[in-house]
Chains A and B, each alone.
Chain A
Amino acid sequence: DAEITQSPRHKITETGRQVTLACHQTWNHNNMFWYRQDLGHGLRLIHYSYGVQDTNKGEVSDGYSVSRSNTEDLPLTLESAASSQTSVYFCASSESGSDSEQFFGPGTRLTVL
């Protein structure tokens, strides 16, 4: 069955370190998204991609970067982790088209000490 996976599921790191969160989908979806989820807030869009070599900033992109070298993967990098980036991170993918459902991964819980 097609799926979307994230790794690691849990990560503890220190302030200032570079961290990369992996996202892999086997649906062959063009669109991929990264969100963060914090208590009391809705999911907020960090970065998104509509295809290979395409990346775009979302509403909370500062301190994060992504790259899309193939259809299946969209890794999220925190260049220099900050305590404010402690959060649960969700990757999602969808087919092209504004009405397409986004399918979410299981999430990565990141703690920055």
Chain B
Amino acid sequence: KNQVEQSPQSLIILEGKNCTLQCNYTVSPFSNLRWYKQDTGRGPVSLTIMTFSENTKSNGRYTATLDADTKQSSLHITASQLSDSASYICVVSLEYGNKLVFGAGTILRVKS
């Protein structure tokens, strides 16, 4: 069964600190993996995309990694800001048919 599991479910950190979110997947055939950020009351917005051959991708203070052998990905947030408070969703795309498999998300809260 195609599944995406994320950990932790929720996380609270102090402003300025770094954090790392985890994603494990069992999706086949794999096309790409995206991390989305979803602010409260809004739709998800893509942060990064990685294909099978890419093992790291950065977008400002966000850095995603992918290990296709172990089927794991992580999202590292550097020097967190209050505006980083959101749900972060790991999404794996199947190779055919625009099908996406969504993780349940990690809820991040950044405190001042």
Give residues in A with beta carbon < 8 Å to B. Answer: 4, 31, 33, 40-45, 48, 50, 90, 92, 94, 97-102, 104-107
Contacts and interface: CB of A to CB of B under 8 A. Distances in A.
Interface residues on B, range: 20 to 34
A106 B103 CA distance: 19
Q: Give 6 closest A-B pairs by Cβ, nearest first.
A: A104-B43, A42-B102, A43-B102, A42-B104, A104-B44, A101-B46
Contacts of A98: 31, 93-98
Contacts of A41: 104
Interface in B64-112: 89, 93-105
Interface of B: 4, 31-32, 34, 41-46, 49, 51, 89, 93-105
Interface SS of chain A: helix, strand, loop or mixed?
loop
A92 B45 CA distance: 11
28 contacts: A40-B104, A41-B104, A42-B4, A42-B89, A42-B101, A42-B103, A42-B104, A43-B44, A45-B99, A48-B98, A90-B44, A92-B43, A94-B98, A98-B31, A98-B93, A98-B95, A98-B97, A99-B31, A99-B32, A99-B49, A99-B51, A100-B98, A101-B34, A102-B98, A105-B43, A106-B41, A107-B41, A107-B42
Nearest to A56: B97
